Structure 1
């Protein structure tokens, strides 16, 4: 798959967005099936002229003769998502940092993305949305598209007042270099573990421990690039023992760590990790 990666230009957007990637396919026979894996980022996809079928942990996208624009957003999922892409496609995916999308929506995150994958309509009635889509898909220049997208995002930016305690908790749980359990973090913030759990469920759509395991999982992918043993990878990613390391991987990745690392492919400057099942005309 020819995936092109771009990083936010505007300093405000860099606070909330990790990166964008484009997938533009002009081959009607294109057909690829793959698994994508849980991440601490929130992917939001904007597609041109597609039909889609969404099932639990399985989403298919196919070229459509209907002239439309479809947006999909993925919640903070705990299991791999099976994806199938067919035909000519033209999409951008925005990877929002934790709490990032919250700054650009009109409802709580838990209301916007309660499922692993769903249609996203929150922007459809925003002032300038139709003009944005027309301009965005009116050019094939990806650099220009990034500029058009960022102008739209800045126009709908509504900074959400989030309790600083939640932000501190998110940062603490994502920091694998300073291992702390949920109870320690809640105690340091002066709140109960129940309050901490409510924060995460409302604003991130996942429990605190679920988020922490995903952060450990994503860190282990980075450590694996350094050619270390499975024992070292588990230890450096703060999995308390090998049995727990394996159990979390079987849930999040659907395989043991050793089998998983042998099966994955990386795209978008190693930002994306997929397990390709049917490469078709990739």
Structure 2
């Protein structure tokens, strides 16, 4: 597996976390791969063979070849049908709202074709340019030009929502929403509605995802080894609380995660992220 990340130019750095590429040679009997929530939204271009996404058991759909993958809040399994080659934009939690006028909530837990978000002609032109580009650098230039054209000077993200996200990220998901809002408790419901519209999930869900990511990085890097230590360093109440949250988002336990071949892709993504 060859996974690489690239930094955006300065004008997009506040909304785009990175660009990434993934290349995997075709293999026989490839296992399903679990994608773990990370609080981000990705715009993905599939340049290789088709990719299956399992909806339940053995039932699956073929992912669109150009799509936006919204917030994930539970186990999300994919399986390549052959050669994997992908180019993608990873947006910060509040990043993608700056490029579309519709609610981000409807994008959660599914793939949305670019044409539904940006129109047939612009999406087709972008996709063709990405496919025909000679290399990753050229693809980054193409997608950045597209995003900068869509980006406006108008502030789309509510300041309270952005402040809440910044605090969640800076504290590793360990700050209660009441603490963030302080004197604005009466505005909590309004803020939460805006949060879901602009981010796709609730503040509480995002906090749990960010905390899980913090624990996951410690788990993948095996420092420390003890699940109890990982739990406490990630500010879970105890090991049981850590395991409960881990199973909610992955469908498995931390120990099983490390030993399961279906976690290879997530391990590659999040150990380096």
Normalized against structure 2, the TM-score is what? 0.82
For residues 216 and 234 of structure 1, what CA distance do their matches in structure 2 show?
Answer: 10
Q: Match of 1:4?
A: 4
| From 245, 257, 260, the counterpart of 2:242 | 245
Per the TM alignment, residue 50 of structure 1 is displaced from its structure 2 partner at its CA by 6.0
> Which structure features the higher share of strand residues?
1
Gaps of 5+ in 1: 63-68, 273-282
- State yes or no: 1:199 paired with 2:194: yes
For residues 60 and 6 of structure 1, what CA distance do their matches in structure 2 show?
Answer: 29
For residues 262 and 188 of structure 1, what CA distance do their matches in structure 2 show?
Answer: 46
- State yes or no: 1:78 paired with 2:73: yes
For residues 151 and 110 of structure 2, what CA distance do their matches in structure 1 show?
Answer: 24
For residues 77 and 185 of structure 1, what CA distance do their matches in structure 2 show?
Answer: 24
Normalized against structure 1, the TM-score is what? 0.79
- State yes or no: 1:232 paired with 2:229: yes
For residues 30 and 178 of structure 1, what CA distance do their matches in structure 2 show?
Answer: 37
- State yes or no: 1:115 paired with 2:109: yes
Two-structure CA RMSD over aligned residues (Å): 3.0
Aligned in 2, Cα 1:191/1:165: closer, same or farther, shift over 3 Å?
A: farther
- Residues 149-228 of structure 1 correspond to what in structure 2 (within 5 A)? 149-158=143-152, 159-176=154-171, 179-224=174-219, 225=221, 227-228=223-224
1:34 and 1:82 in contact (8 A); partners too:
yes
Aligned length: 263
For residues 269 and 59 of structure 1, what CA distance do their matches in structure 2 show?
Answer: 25
For residues 84 and 29 of structure 2, what CA distance do their matches in structure 1 show?
Answer: 9
Which range moved further: 250-259 or 161-170?
A: 250-259
Gaps of 5+ in 2: none
Per the TM alignment, residue 39 of structure 1 is displaced from its structure 2 partner at its CA by 0.9
> Which structure features the higher share of helix residues?
2
For residues 238 and 220 of structure 1, what CA distance do their matches in structure 2 show?
Answer: 9
